[in-house]
Amino acid sequence: MNEIVTSKSDWSTPLLEELIQYSNDHGTTELVVDCNQQPLIRPVGTAIETDIFAVQKGILSLLIGIAEEKYLLETCDAINHHLDPEWTALSPWHEASVTIETLLAMTTGMDEQLQPLGEVGGGWRYNNTAYNYLKKILCLHTGLSLNELSREWLFNPLGMKNTRWEAREQKLPDGTAITGLQSTADDLAKIGRLVLNEGVWNDMQIVPNHYLNQMTQGASADNPAWGFCWWNNCADQFMLPMKDKIYPGNVVPTAPEDLISVRGAFGNLLYILPRYSLVVARTRKIEAGKSAPDFESEFWRRLLLAKLN
């Protein structure tokens, strides 16, 4: 259950209640809405940890930005500067051209088995296997586990007490377990507030601002709505994971163009809307089934209607 926790004069309480009901009716586990860093909607009861699926990619992207600021890597680095060659099935020449930016931008020129498919640095293709090698690079350079470095760099400073990486059954081609991220809507909202505050938390620069600007810029010609594992809402076309199709318009047509987001399977979502200082986090369990195809658009239509001025 979720409820309004703060009554604000510039928001319609009845329309917010309708928004909560709409969200609950569509399988939402937890919903958090913050405005001007003040809570507007919060879950009721004990926090429920949920696998947030691809929302993890946006958080890992922030860790890459922190690692770059620590001079452990640069996004322009060839992966072969960090991992032993032949980690893919590409030719040596093509493998040498795969960079950290290539993996973040999903322009790997590979399929899920890391076999050649397309052109490295060219077309956009969602590649969960290649992306997971970014985690290996972070751990190799720090000597820490993914959970240890995430807690040290990000989770502990933000007070994210209910977020952790867990091994899944799936393996990378080298035998390493793929990890999922368990979290709560409240913890995700803290990530949203960090991004909204240009990487600053309690007067400390956690993520460099220049990286935050870069990560939401379109990184490929055919999917300009995707940057470094974050979505923008200002591109004139977009592609979706696992679909070889270009769609015209914005990712969320009912939301303003300055919306940025990370979006996971089954409707796990984190949104930041700078113009209204809004952060929205939603979690949803697998048992709820697939999210309604137009949930995001209808959710944003209702949320913006509830804002009175």
Per-residue confidence (pLDDT) for residue 7, from 0 to 100: 67
Which residue shows structure tokens 């928001």? 11
The enclosing domain of 253 has a CATH number of: 3.40.710.10
Mean pLDDT by runs of 10 across the 309 residues of the chain is: 80 95 96 94 95 98 98 97 96 97 98 96 96 97 97 98 96 92 98 98 97 96 97 97 94 98 97 97 91 93 93
Q: Which domain holds residue 79?
A: 2-306
CB atoms within 10 A of CB 254: 17
Give the model's pLDDT for residue 292. Answer: 84
Tokens of 152: 């040290």
Q: What are 213's two structure tokens?
A: 């600007």
Q: How far apart are CA 203 and CA 13, in angstroms?
A: 33
Measured CA to CA, the distance from residue 41 to residue 32 in angstroms comes to 5
SS3 content of the chain, % helix, strand, coil (to 5): 35, 20, 45
Q: What is the pLDDT of residues 57-94, one digit of tens each?
A: 999 999 999 999 999 999 999 999 999 999 999 999 99
> Residue 9 has what pLDDT?
76
Per-residue model confidence as pLDDT tens digits over 165-196: 999 999 999 898 999 999 999 999 999 999 99
The tally of domains found in the chain comes to: 1
